[in-house]
Amino acid sequence: MHDFFSKDKSFQKNLFPISSIQSMPSIPPESQVIAALRERLSQGQPALALDKYIDCVLYDPVVGYYMRDKDRVGYRPGTDFYTASSMGELFTRLVLSALKDLLGDTLCEHAFVEAGPESPGGILGAIDTNPFSEHLLYRPGETIKIPDKAIVFSNELFDAQPFKRYIQTGEGWKETGVTVMEEQLRFCILEPEEVPASLPDSAPEGYMIDWPLRAHKLLDEISSQTWEGLFLAFDYGLDRSIIFSQRPEGTGRTYFQHQLGSNLLSNPGLSDITCHLIWDEMEDGLRRHGFKQVQLVHQEAFFMKHAQSHIQNIMESSPAGFSREKQTLMELLHPGNMGHKFQVLHAMRSEN
């Protein structure tokens, strides 16, 4: 364990006291969601750990947010958020340009493995042809099987995995759980199933850390398979030092009709739930499985370095005046839009 905390406790005034977690207001959920949660509260179990609650409301076959037949991504009425892939063909072409820069003329030797595609055809569905040996799509709940030579791509996959929430109490780190009381959801405090070794030895009482354990396990599932090629993930997160010292209320949030919320019990099954990744944990995981050249950069920097020629062509095609393609490019690259909000983690592995 590590201690990232200074002696200055002035920021504690903004923390949630433990008692408030147990009485935090919630919106009455649908009866189907309550029934699904009660089914998981088997054998007299009083509460579910937060990650198990999130797993239910996001991935339950009947009531799960990601399993429902609805539009989630984009700008249309009824959607909840937008991502880089919402920008259509341009994002795909920038990714392809970057891959060619990273892998040269060997793209045809690689399978393109897309984990967690947001549309039926994935990002390659936006173009007519692609240079890869095959295109494999893996959706939630499917076992990912990676060919011997591959590019494993994801866009906002890891932040969509269930996470645990740890809270510092007078008795050390405890775990946040969720229970059903009088047909409403309530937070509660549980003894932790496990405490990550990376958590700090001490923290102010009430400090909360959202720990993306399932994201780490998914990364391990991908990187432990014996394949060579490129790992490429577009997502957002922070380093341990920031999570452990500057995010006292955790990073878990909900997205419902493009509105950001902090109550993880709101609109269960109807809203997205996400938290920031812990980038140095992800980088360490890749290195443990033999990946080299592990790099984390802002989305803007990644495309400016590896897709520069394509960006230049777009800018030169209409040097004066407005174009929709230019506007989309600025959405993807400008630091005030997606350019800094999202990061790109990439790494290579080969037999050599």
What mean pLDDT do residues 83-97 have? 83
- Model pLDDT, residue 119: 82
- Model pLDDT, residue 349: 97
- Model pLDDT, residue 173: 96
Distance of CA 86 to the CA centre of its chain: 16
- Model pLDDT, residue 30: 60
- Model pLDDT, residue 181: 84
Is the Cβ–Cβ distance between 259 and 292 less than 8 Å?
no
Neighbouring residues of 114: CB distance < 8 A, sequence distance ≥ 6: 122, 123, 124, 135, 136, 137, 138, 153, 154
- Model pLDDT, residue 234: 97
Helix axes 299-306, 89-103, angle to 10 degrees: 60
pLDDT of 12 higher than 90: no
Spatial CA neighbour of 104 closest among 173, 139, 151, 138: 151
| Least-confidence region, from 76-80, 117-121, 304-308 | 76-80
Spatial CA neighbour of 167 closest among 20, 282, 347, 269: 20
pLDDT of 320 higher than 80: no
Task: Tell me the sheet residues that pair with 190.
Answer: 175
pLDDT of 14 higher than 50: no
The pTM for the full model equals 0.86
- Please give the full DSSP string across 66-134, using - where no structure is assigned: GGSSS--BSSSTT--B--GGGGTHHHHHHHHHHHHHHHGGGGGGSEEEEES-SSTTTGGGGSS---SSE
pLDDT of 70 higher than 50: yes
Neighbouring residues of 339: CB distance < 8 A, sequence distance ≥ 6: 298, 299, 300, 332, 333
- Model pLDDT, residue 130: 93
- Please give the full DSSP string across 231-243, using - where no structure is assigned: EEEEE-EE-HHHH
- Model pLDDT, residue 8: 38
Taking only the tens place, the pLDDT of each residue in 275-318 is 999 999 999 999 999 999 999 999 999 999 999 999 998 888 76
What mean pLDDT do residues 110-129 have? 91
Phi, psi dihedrals of residue 37, rounded to the nearest 5°: -70, -40
In percent, how much of the chain has pLDDT > 90?
Answer: 59
- Model pLDDT, residue 183: 80
Bigger pLDDT: 338 vs 6: 338
- Model pLDDT, residue 84: 65
Residue 143 and residue 218: Cα distance in Å, rounded? 10
Average pLDDT for the chain? 86
Bigger pLDDT: 194 vs 109: 109
Bigger pLDDT: 270 vs 76: 270
* Tokens 């354990």 found at: 213
- Model pLDDT, residue 262: 92
Tokens of 282: 């992800």
Per-residue confidence band for 324, with pLDDT thresholds at 50, 70 and 90: confident
Taking only the tens place, the pLDDT of each residue in 207-254 is 999 999 999 999 999 999 999 999 999 999 999 999 999 999 999 999
- Model pLDDT, residue 52: 95
Spatial CA neighbour of 344 closest among 112, 66, 99: 99
pLDDT of 43 higher than 70: no
Residue 147 and residue 335: Cα distance in Å, rounded? 36
- Model pLDDT, residue 86: 64
Taking only the tens place, the pLDDT of each residue in 122-164 is 999 888 899 999 999 998 889 999 999 999 999 999 999 999 9
Per-residue confidence band for 15, with pLDDT thresholds at 50, 70 and 90: very low
Is the Cβ–Cβ distance between 23 and 222 less than 8 Å?
no
- Model pLDDT, residue 177: 95
In percent, how much of the chain has pLDDT > 70?
Answer: 85
pLDDT of 322 higher than 80: no
Bigger pLDDT: 327 vs 19: 327
End-to-end CA distance of the chain: 35
Question: Exposed, middle or buried: residue 126 (CB in 10 Å: 0-12, 13-18, 19+)?
Answer: middle
Distance of CA 66 to the CA centre of its chain: 13
- Model pLDDT, residue 220: 97
Helix axes 308-317, 299-306, angle to 10 degrees: 90
